[in-house]
Amino acid sequence: MKNLMIMSALGMSIALGGAVQGQAASDEGKGPRHSFEDLDANGDGQLTREEMQAHMKARFDAADTDGDGVMSLEEMQARGQERAAKRAGKMIERLDTDGDGGVSFEEAQARRGGKMFDRADADGDGAISKAEFDTAREKMREMRAKHHGKKKEQNAE
């Protein structure tokens, strides 16, 4: 029973996170797009808790492929694989400059242009010292923490 409750809560968190993240990301051109109009089921120009919950329930039900009301590990993995496949496809579209359906090392590097190296090489001497490496690593950790914290705040709303 405890596992059932945990899995249900986890599944709802995933659905909620997707809805909130999708709404926030739609303005940035990333992630699922849920327009205000999509969420405003009755078209009254306001989103109610019930409308948001109905949207989340529909997303949950779509991922709950066996319809038992519980998100299993396999269902969560399938949903994650589906989303990863979509992201990978979009990445190839963006990076595949020669149109061969794949991304070569050169195509991947052209996109970045060595920016990460340049950022880490703070003194611009063409080499990254241990101190520069450690500083760059810490900045990346801070950026990740800030990014993940922002997602947590969005999911909490």
Segment 80-87 long-range contacts (CB within 8 Å, at least 24 positions apart): none
CA separation for the pair 19, 116 (Å, rounded):
32
Query: How many CB atoms within 10 Å of residue 77?
Result: 10
Q: Supply the pTM of this predicted model.
A: 0.49
Q: Which residue has the higher pLDDT, 154 or 60?
A: 60
The per-residue pLDDT for 110 is 82
155 near 13, Cβ under 8 Å?
Answer: yes
Least confident of 4-13, 46-55, 68-77, 147-156: 4-13
86 near 77, Cβ under 8 Å?
Answer: no
pLDDT over 90 (residue 67)? yes
107 near 95, Cβ under 8 Å?
Answer: yes
- For the segment 79-99, the average pLDDT, to the nearest whole number, is 93
CA separation for the pair 129, 133 (Å, rounded):
6
- For the segment 14-36, the average pLDDT, to the nearest whole number, is 50
pLDDT over 90 (residue 141)? yes
120 near 136, Cβ under 8 Å?
Answer: yes
- For the segment 34-57, the average pLDDT, to the nearest whole number, is 91
